[in-house]
């Protein structure tokens, strides 16, 4: 009870509010990341009251995870890789004049995911952390495989299965560029120091999403005039679709579980949630053409990671992802070494911090709901202004992350390359899945093989692995059956 009083003190509320709003803005800017913001602010919190400092940083984390969805929905530019799945459904909705609803679904989904995961962190942290340790490299490989199974469900009436698979493999091939983590050897770097770390996701994503969109719009023969009815629609408040809570719950659960696993991130959580939602919703939900259900699952999924990733961070000192790692630095700087002590000796700081995450979720819910009608108007900006402005942001965003001009060329290269692929009917979504999940799968596979001393039996041994194989088969069977049916009909 006294902990709740600490959180509700004016100074605490101000810290949470500042952090969360700043986080939303940081998350919304491609090129700025929560990791960077938290990392830079950690030394500043040294002189602050520890609780206030931690609340500020926690707010940034929660806010940034939600903020990434705003440009994804409105401009087809995911602010973070975790918002890619959101862009797949959100941007089509914006084009249909339903941007306001998309924003609303995204903020409510993020809120639900954040709340559930914070609750799990509060109630079950030490218990869950021990369980999560059983999750080794072999299981990581299976998790990535689960995400890659999404490639098969991309294939539908319009995209052939072969083309989707080829695009996925192409993505994985591109991800091979860089240093081989197992041997230290260089792969396809052509002597360029810029390629030693491989292709950075953000320039690739900005190229494949926003820049392609701009090239597409700029390439239209006739300038699309703004439809007055769209304008009206964007202003009108649509009610939340029925049954959407189911998808939010699904995403929240998936996100929290994936978040708890050491080293797994929000990106894979969002993709998995999205894919699960797609399977459950079936064809009638029209995934890929603006389904709010997809946004709900993906956003609940990535925000579910916030609380989830703090479970191993606080109890074992194993950060769930890079933001959690930076946040762990803030705990250490105040002498709070992660472990059981955090929940006993330092309980008066740790618990208020965890409670503050609930408030942070409420803050971005209010902010998100209240600015949605204004933000939705961005969709009404005429292409003649939109194209140059977004292109400039695309260049800036690609440059800012690593201060690298090479990344700008990379972004432009991906845009043209992606445009060609898109025109000849290859799925960019599959390419991106391969690009992001390929390296995770490779790392898990090679490490699993080393630990298994060369025997693949390790991928089938543990109970977790067995359950995961069942889920993978469950994800693969329906789309494959549907595919065979289509073939037979023809």
Partner 1 sequence: MLKHTFAAGLAVLGLAAGPALAQDYPTKSIEIIVPSSAGGSTDTTARIFAEIAEKKFDGFNFVINNIKGSGGQKGFEAIARAKPDGYTIGMVFTPQLVAHIVSGRASYTLDSFHIMGNMGEDPALVAVPKDSPIETLDDLAKGDDLTVAVNGIGSDDFIAAKNFEDAAGVSFNLLPTKGSTEQKSAILGGHVDASFMNLTQIIGQHKSDDARIIAMLTRDRSDLVPDVPTGVEQGYDVLMTATRGFVAPAGVPDDIAARLDEVLADVMADPEFTQKAEASSIYLLPMSGPDYLAYLETLQADTQKVFDAAPW
The residues that touch partner 1, with contacts defined as CB under 8 A, are 35-36, 38-40, 42-43, 46, 133-137, 179, 181-186, 193, 196-197, 262-263, 312, 316-319, 325-326, 329, 332-333, 335, 337-341, 402-403, 443, 447, 450-451, 453
We find the least distance from the C-beta atom of residue 151 to partner 1, in angstroms, to be: 24
Residue closer to partner 1 by CB (options 259, 319) is: 319
Judging by beta carbons within 10 Å of its beta carbon (0-12, 13-18, 19+), is residue 26 exposed, middle or buried?
Answer: buried
Residue closer to partner 1 by CB (options 9, 451) is: 451
We find the least distance from the C-beta atom of residue 338 to partner 1, in angstroms, to be: 6
Residue closer to partner 1 by CB (options 318, 428) is: 318
Residue closer to partner 1 by CB (options 90, 439) is: 439
We find the least distance from the C-beta atom of residue 148 to partner 1, in angstroms, to be: 19
We find the least distance from the C-beta atom of residue 439 to partner 1, in angstroms, to be: 9
| Residue 155 per-residue DSSP state | -
Distance between CA atoms of 391 and 387, rounded to whole angstroms?
6
Distance between CA atoms of 392 and 398, rounded to whole angstroms?
10
We find the least distance from the C-beta atom of residue 57 to partner 1, in angstroms, to be: 11
Please, are residues 251 and 300 in contact by the beta-carbon 8 Å criterion? yes
Residue closer to partner 1 by CB (options 370, 455) is: 455
Distance between CA atoms of 169 and 454, rounded to whole angstroms?
24
Q: List Cβ neighbours of 351 (8 Å cut-off, separation of 6 or more).
A: 3, 122, 343
Distance between CA atoms of 134 and 91, rounded to whole angstroms?
39
We find the least distance from the C-beta atom of residue 145 to partner 1, in angstroms, to be: 18
Residue closer to partner 1 by CB (options 193, 385) is: 193
We find the least distance from the C-beta atom of residue 243 to partner 1, in angstroms, to be: 38
Token look-up 């100074």 returns 11
Judging by beta carbons within 10 Å of its beta carbon (0-12, 13-18, 19+), is residue 229 exposed, middle or buried?
Answer: exposed
Residue closer to partner 1 by CB (options 183, 229) is: 183
The DSSP string of 97-140 is T-HHHHHHHHHHHHHHHHHHHHHHHHHHHHHHHHHHTT--HHHH
């Amino acid at each position: 009870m006294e902990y709740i009083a600490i959180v509700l003190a004016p100074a605490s509320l101000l810290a949470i509010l500042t952090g969360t709003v700043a986080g939303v803005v940081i998350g919304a800017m491609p090129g700025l990341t929560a990791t960077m913001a938290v990392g830079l602010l950690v030394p500043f919190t040294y002189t602050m009251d520890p609780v206030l400092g931690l609340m500020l940083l926690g707010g940034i984390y929660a806010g940034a995870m939600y903020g990434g969805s705003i440009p994804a929905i409105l401009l087809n530019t995911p602010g973070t890789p975790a918002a890619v799945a959101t862009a797949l459904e959100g941007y089509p909705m914006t084009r249909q004049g339903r941007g306001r609803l998309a924003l609303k679904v995204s903020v409510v989904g993020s809120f639900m995911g954040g709340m559930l995961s914070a609750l799990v962190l509060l109630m079950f942290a030490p218990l869950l952390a021990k369980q999560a340790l059983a999750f080794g490299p072999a299981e990581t490989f299976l998790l990535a495989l689960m995400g890659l199974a999404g490639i098969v469900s991309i294939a539908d009436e319009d995209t052939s299965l072969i083309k989707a698979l080829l695009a996925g493999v192409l993505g994985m091939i591109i991800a091979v560029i860089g240093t081989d983590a197992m041997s230290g050897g260089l792969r396809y770097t052509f002597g360029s120091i810029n390629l030693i770390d491989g292709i950075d996701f953000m320039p690739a994503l900005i190229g494949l999403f926003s820049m392609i969109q701009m090239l597409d719009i700029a390439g239209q023969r006739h300038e699309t005039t703004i439809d007055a009815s769209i304008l009206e629609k964007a202003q009108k408040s649509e009610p939340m679709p029925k049954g959407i809570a189911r998808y939010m719950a699904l995403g929240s659960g998936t996100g929290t579980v994936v978040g708890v696993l050491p080293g797994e991130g929000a990106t894979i959580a969002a993709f998995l949630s999205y894919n699960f939602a797609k399977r459950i919703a079936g064809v009638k939900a029209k995934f890929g053409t603006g389904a709010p259900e997809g946004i709900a699952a993906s956003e609940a999924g990535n925000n579910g990671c916030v609380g989830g990733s703090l479970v191993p961070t606080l109890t074992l000192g194993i950060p769930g992802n890079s933001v959690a790692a930076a946040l762990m630095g803030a705990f250490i700087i105040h002498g709070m070494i992660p472990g059981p002590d955090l929940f006993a000796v330092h309980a008066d700081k740790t618990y208020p911090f965890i409670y503050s995450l609930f408030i942070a979720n409420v803050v971005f819910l209010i902010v998100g709901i209240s600015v949605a009608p204004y933000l939705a108007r961005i969709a009404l900006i005429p292409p003649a202004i939109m194209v140059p402005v977004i292109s400039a942001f695309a260049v800036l965003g690609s440059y800012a992350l690593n201060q690298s001009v090479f990344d700008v060329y990379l972004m432009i290269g991906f845009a043209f390359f992606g445009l060609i692929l898109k025109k000849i009917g290859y799925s960019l979504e599959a390419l991106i899945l391969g690009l992001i999940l390929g390296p995770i799968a490779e790392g898990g596979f090679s490490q699993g093989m080393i630990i298994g001393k060369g025997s693949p039996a390790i991928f089938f041994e543990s109970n977790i692995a067995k359950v995961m194989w069942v889920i993978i088969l469950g994800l693969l069977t329906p789309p494959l059956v549907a595919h065979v049916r289509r073939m037979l009909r023809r």
